[in-house]
Structure 1
Amino acid sequence: MNDSPGWASPGSDPSEGDRPQQPAQPDRSGDPGRTAQPGEPGTKWSAEQPPAGSGTPRDGVWGNPGAGQTPPPSSTPQPGTGWGSYGGRPGQTPSGSPYGAPGGWGKPPAAKPGVIPLRPLGLGEILDGAVTTMRTHWRSVLPITLAVAVLIEIISLTLQRTVLSGYAVVPDESATPEEAFKALGDSMVVSMADSFIQLVGSVIVTALLMMVFSRAVLGRPSSVGDAWREARPHLLKLAGLTLLLMAGALAIAVVLMLPGALLDSAGLVALGAIGALVLIAWLWVKFALAAPALMLERGGVVTSLRRSAKLVRGAWWRIFGISVLTSLITGFVAMMIVSAFAVVGSLFTDEGVSGFVEGTSTDSWAFLIIAGIGAVIALTIVMPMQAGVTALLYIDQRIRREALDLELARAAGVEGYGTTPGTAPPATGS
């Protein structure tokens, strides 16, 4: 069995009339303490489950559900085993239990070959998995993020001292409203330039770190060379996906704000901006899992967008909350690091800390270099954290919807995972 990480591209969905009958499987996104019954009100049933052996890592990818194949037994424990009571008296362990945990009430320990347990994940487990991967596999994570962060800062610093040097980011106290408006526009130009540079760098980091995280889930080491070889064929597609999402967000903002601008109505512009923000946020979450789907399933841009929409369906608020919380945490950490280095850098200027507060320290090379070092450190911490949370959210949704934990357990060599006592494990591919 080839156990290299990755996921295969999704099989084509058969039409409702041609879809073969398959055993009903419970939606893993609900309460794991019970097994739902078919036809029960409020119960969601996955239309497709991964077939036996299809998800076994083969040729560098992991399979995802295909059409017309028999699904493997769900890892949701059957009566007498699993998440809740084992069916015996408290303290008893049933013979041959795949979990090996004591009986009684409570969630038994799941197999954990890598950085996460193979079951639906909670918020803490997703954050912990991202941090654990950064700490355990730092030999792969650190060189990738550090090299990209240094490159980003060098390009950004060069642009600030050359092309963007004429832009007045901070207006004078006695500036007229027109001058203040021009300074605001200049500030937006500088911010957009920095954001575009960081976007390009994040595309490279995301592509490489997805490979590192896919191996970390199985408990396998990875190297920078391995990550580069696996990610390189898909960099252009990931860049196209990122640019498509950015262009879509920009188009939405222009379309909704343009009527107010044409009518010279500040109220309509503000209303359009609010509507654009809400719509962009909704689409941002809907397509949040497109990048890991593209990199790990090896599909195209449009296929990855559809895949993300399918995985996010019914879990929008959960993914939104985890993504926002991650952004707040990483943003706060980055701000603290950059601010500390900026204050230190301002001490090497003629204006001192007052120059940093007034925004005039940016003319000093000493300030820019020291502040740039802080930005490199911040990016080195922030980028792998964000990429890791996105990758683990993708894996978590596939565990909940498609019983991916069975395939991961087989790939990691976990014996008898997801089988009931007295039954043989599902057959896997060669």
Structure 2
Amino acid sequence: MKDTPGWASPGSAPSDGQEPGTSGPAEQRDQPNPEQPADRPGPQSPEPGTKWSKEQPPPAQWSAPGGTQDAGQAPPPSPPGPGWGGRPPGGYGGGRPPGGYGGWGAGQWGGPPPAAKPGVIPLRPLGVGEILDGAVSTMRTYWRTVLGISLTVAVLTEIVVILLQGFVLNDRTSTAALNDPSASLDELTRALGDALLGSGVVFLISLIGTVAATALLTTVTSRAVLGKPVTTAEAWSDARPRVIKLFGLILLLLLITVGVAVAGAVPGIIVAATGDSTAGAGLVVLGVLCTSIVAVWLGVRFSLASPALMLEKQGIVKAMSRSAKLVRGSWWRVFGIQLLAVIIANIVAAIVVIPFTFLAAALSGDGIGSVMEGTGHIGWTFLIISGIGSVIGSMITFPITAGVTVLLYIDQRIRREALDLDLARAAGVQDYGSGAADTTPGS
């Protein structure tokens, strides 16, 4: 698989409407003259140089059924006969039907043949549903490998979260003031900071686990596109040389995100340090909200860096550059598909996690209300039982989000670099890209 196989779409038609190796329009070569009587031979055309001109239908089949045609009106083509569903028996000569592939949509040749599908997706630009279905099909077809990787990453991630919450965050953070109407501004600010700190730490750890799972599942998904199975050992063997660079990429992306957020909060911090704490707190919140938009934009722009690093064997900076290049011009599409995948994954995970949360609150001795309001002490029983639910939920969310990210990367390269030609060759698809298969764009 080449890194940059090219930006021209496969099989693009010549701009002047001529076929390669010809001197005139296709319509003037192939269509009979309706003003010339059928019993009078016309001027001799040059010797045909292709099989297509030798094996075209007899002239009688091109006349309108049931009568003669009006002068100056081009005769309509006859319905395709046996063996004409894909291309004529002798080939097209120039490798394309007359007029380019646009004739497929007009019904001239009986409709386009289906795109090659050696694995979980067809080898053509994908629609939203096909990307989501490909991620789910990968998880369903290779469930042993996918769930094994997801379970390992989820367990390691959740152990870190539980230990941090039990030994650090549980004693140093308190959100009880957020539910106290008589709390002062300083207490509310401190409680809000504690809540953001706890949520931020958990989010960052989960993000690291998600990116790690994406990297390990990249090999599985790329093999699933070709219809080739892969074991957990093979996936790890392929990903192991890139692990250090992968975590370097994660660290750099986190530093960029934190740097953007801090830059937005600096003006408010300066104002609060001068003595106006109320205005400073408000300015901090406003600055963080504004810079969060920039952080989201950068996150989507570099969201395909992980599969680029793993599949193209790129460096950290080069992988980020490749992601930005692939996302350019398609930011809203990439953002929408990834947001939809996250929403679906979180809904499925919530169905599993919420019952475990209520069960943990009931068995830990604290009331459910006290746990939800932040007034109760979160003990080890609650953390362990709720952690089990989180592990099960992550086993479901990791394959979906990782699969969508990898398939989005493949889809963008198909659209921009004709990667489907390399994938077809790698999958052993015969005669792909020679006119036998159509590349109908997805949405």
TM-score (norm. length: structure 1): 0.74
Contact 1:111–1:118, Cα closer than 8 Å, also in 2: yes
Please give the per-residue CA displacement for 1:130-181, whole angstroms capped at 9, x wherever unaligned. 0100111111111111011111112211222212221233215354432232
Greater helix fraction, Structure 1 or Structure 2: 2
Inter-partner Cα distance in structure 2 for 1:188 and 1:280: 17
Task: Report deviation, 1:35.
Answer: 5.3
Matches within 5 A, 1:251-400: 251-264=259-272, 265-266=279-280, 268-360=283-375, 363-400=378-415
The answer to whether the 8 A contact 1:342-1:356 is kept is no
Which residue identity does 2:116 align to in structure 1?
A
Q: Name which of 133, 136, 140 aligns with 2:138.
A: 133
Q: 2:235 aligns with which of 227, 240, 260?
A: 227
Equivalent position amino acid for 2:365 in 1: D
For residues 284 and 364 of structure 2, the distance between their equivalents in structure 1, rounded to whole angstroms, comes to 41
1:407 counterpart (419, 422, 433): 422
Unaligned 5+ residue runs, structure 1?
1-6, 12-21, 29-33, 41-86, 422-430
Q: CA deviation at 1:219?
A: 0.3
How far the C-alpha of 1:326 sits from its partner, in A, is 1.3
| Partners of 1:115 and 1:217 within 8 A in 2 | yes
Give the match's secondary structure for 1:363. coil
Give the superposed CA RMSD: 3.1
Q: Does the aligned pair in 1 maintain the 2:302–2:320 contact within 8 Å?
A: yes
Give, as a single letter, the amino acid of the residue that structure 2 aligns with 1:416. D
Distance 1:354 1:263, change over 3 A: closer
Partner of 1:56: none
Return the index of the structure with the highest Cα Rg.
2
Paired residue type of 2:262 = V
1:175 to 1:9, Cα distance in 2 relative to 1, 3 A: same
Instruction: Please say which of residues 101-110 and 177-186 is displaced more in the overlay.
Output: 101-110
Residues 1:360 and 1:271: Cα distance change in structure 2 (over 3 Å): closer
CA distance in 1, matches of 2:265, 2:13: 47
Query: Which of 136, 145, 152 in structure 1 is aligned with 2:150?
Result: 145
Residue correspondence of structure 1 range 2-17 to structure 2 within 5 A: 7-10=1-4
Cα separation, 1, equivalents of 2:418 and 2:111: 21
CA distance 1:353–1:252, shift in 2 (3 Å): closer
Change (3 A) 1:103 1:221: farther
1:53 is matched with none
Q: Assess, with a 3 A threshold, how the Cα gap between structure 1 residues 302 and 88 changes in structure 2: closer, same or farther.
A: farther
CA distance in 2: counterparts of 1:243 and 1:105, whole angstroms:
54
1:166 aligned partner: 171
8 Å CA contact 2:175–2:374 kept in 1: the answer is: yes
Classify 1:413/1:392 alpha carbon distance in 2 versus 1 (closer, same or farther; 3 Å): same
- Kept after mapping to 2: 8 A contact 1:362/1:368: no
**What are structure 2's unaligned runs of at least 5 residues?**
18-76, 96-100, 273-278, 437-443
Contact 1:346 1:352 in 2 (8 A): yes
Cα distance in structure 2, aligned partners of 1:105 and 1:242? 50
What is the CA-CA distance between 1:38 and the residue it aligns to? Answer: 4.5
Q: Distance in 2 between matches of 1:243 and 1:190?
A: 19
Alignment-mate amino acid for residue 241 of structure 2: P
- Contact 2:158–2:391 (CA under 8 A) maintained in structure 1: yes
| Deviation per residue, 1:244-301 (Å, 9 max, x gap) | 1111111122223312331344564444333312222222121111111110000101
* Matched-pair contact (CA < 8 Å) for 1:257–1:273: yes
| CA distance in 2: counterparts of 1:115 and 1:231, whole angstroms | 21
Partner of 1:66: none
- Alpha carbons of structure 1 residues 360 and 410: separation in structure 2 relative to 1, 3 Å: same
**1:70-127 residue CA offsets vs partner (Å, 9 max, x unmatched):** xxxxxxxxxxxxxxxxx87368513458999997575531111001000000000000
CA distance in 2, matches of 1:277, 1:39: 49
Q: Distance in 1 between matches of 2:198 and 2:361?
A: 20
Using the TM superposition, name which of 209-218 and 366-375 deviates more: 366-375
The alignment covers a number of residue pairs equal to 353
In 1, are the aligned partners of 2:166 and 2:379 still within 8 Å (CA)? no
